Amino acid sequence: MKALKISALLLLFALVLTFAYQNLEKVDVTFISWSITVPFSLTILLSFIIGVLTGSLALCFVGKKKKKDKVEQLENKSDKTDNLS
């Protein structure tokens, strides 16, 4: 199983390197008043990383809300059982 994981990682790494090698042309990236010229593959990589970080942050907030809702449900259940006594 470990060999399969290593093979999959090596294949993924090879695909990323191939993508980067085939997209070396320079592109201008502008944000507000900043402008920089970088390889296209770096632009795609940075966009991916920003997306992963944004998604992770969103999942953290959703996870906290779910946990809070679960605590409230448990409190409501205990209140109902206290009222029945």
Within a domain: 51: yes
Whether the per-residue pLDDT at 75 is higher than 70: the answer is no
Q: Output the CA angle 73-75-76, nearest 5 degrees.
A: 65
Within a domain: 65: yes
Q: What gap in Å lies between CA 24 and CA 27, rounded to an integer?
A: 9
Residue ranges making up the domain that contains 67: 24-84
Residue 37: strand pairing partners: 28
Band the pLDDT of 77: cuts 50, 70, 90.
Answer: low
| Digit-coded pLDDT (tens) for 28-56 | 989 899 999 999 988 888 888 898 899 88
Residue 45 confidence (pLDDT)? 85
Domain count, the chain: 1
Q: Which two tokens mark 1? A: 């199983």
Residue 9 confidence (pLDDT)? 87
Q: What gap in Å lies between CA 60 and CA 67, rounded to an integer?
A: 11
